[in-house]
Amino acid sequence: MAEFGRRKWVIPGGRIPFHSTGREPDFTSRDELAVLNAGYSDTNLAITLFYPDREPVGPYELVVKARRTRRVRINDLIFPEAVPLDVDYAALIEADNPVVIQFTRVDTGHAETSWAGGIAFPSRG
């Protein structure tokens, strides 16, 4: 399989919900990245988080092994700093080999709410 994915990824619309209902960790409300490394080399990721009214925080460093997938809950990132819940943020993820990243929000706070969303369409150039 030839190289599959990209080295730079952005999630502009992060916000980890505060309330959770049900047994955790299964039903912990969270923002989560699914990272696929379909290649044959372990890949280093560096995540930088951006905020509305202060300097960016990072890098949060992780490894995704070759031919594996890894889930990263943004809530669980602690070093260099715990990520605040219920606060708008954006994430920049840089990888030293191509990876594919999908972003998911699980919100178990209230029965009546339901999320929808997606990356906006980018024009060429």
Partner 1 sequence: MGLDQGCHNWSGSLRFRPSRIEAPRTEQELASLVRAIAAQGRTLRPIGSAHSASPIIVTDDVLVSLDHLKGLYEHDERSQQVTFGAGTKLTEVGECLHSIGLAMPTFGDVATQTVAGAIGSGTHGSGRQLYNLSMVLIGGRLVTADGEVREVSFEQDPDFIRALRVSFGTLGVFSSMRLQLEPIYDLHRQEWCCQIDDCLSRLDEISRENRNIDLYWYPRCDEVNLRCLNPPGKEPDYNAFARLIDDRTGPSHKVIPKHSNLPHRFEEMEYALPAEAGLDCFRELRRRIKSKWRRSVAWRLLFRYIKADDTWLSEAHGRESVSISLHQNSSLPFWDYFTDLEPVFRDYGGRPHWAKKHTLRADDLRPLYPKWDDFMMLRRRMDPQGVFLTPYLKMLLDA
Partner 2 sequence: MGDIGNRRWAIAEGYIPGDSSFEDPALISHEAACILNPGDQDANVAITLFFTDREPVGPYRVIVRARRTRHLRFNDIDDPEPVPRDTPYSSVIESDVPIVVQHSRLDSRKAEVSLLSTVAYSQG
Instruction: Report the interface residues with partner 2, using CB under 8 A.
Output: 1, 4-12, 21-22, 27, 32-38, 67-71, 93, 100-111, 113-119, 122
Look-up of token digits 């969270």: 30
Cα 31 from chain centroid (whole Å) = 6
Distance between CA atoms of residues 117 and 76, nearest Å: 23
61 touches which of partner 1, partner 2, none (CB within 5 to 8 A by kind)? none
By the 8 A CB rule, do 37 and 99 touch? yes
Q: How far is the CB of 94 from partner 1 (least distance, A)?
A: 20
Based on CB atoms, which residue is closest to partner 1, 9 or 60?
Answer: 60
Q: Estimate to the nearest angstrom the gap between the alpha carbon of 92 and the chain centroid.
A: 9
Residues that bind partner 1 (CB under 8 A): 18, 23-25, 28, 73, 75-86
Q: Closest distance between partner 1 and the C-beta of residue 5, in Å?
A: 27
- Taken as a whole, the chain contains a residue count of 125
- Compute the least distance from the CB of residue 68 to partner 2, in Å: 6
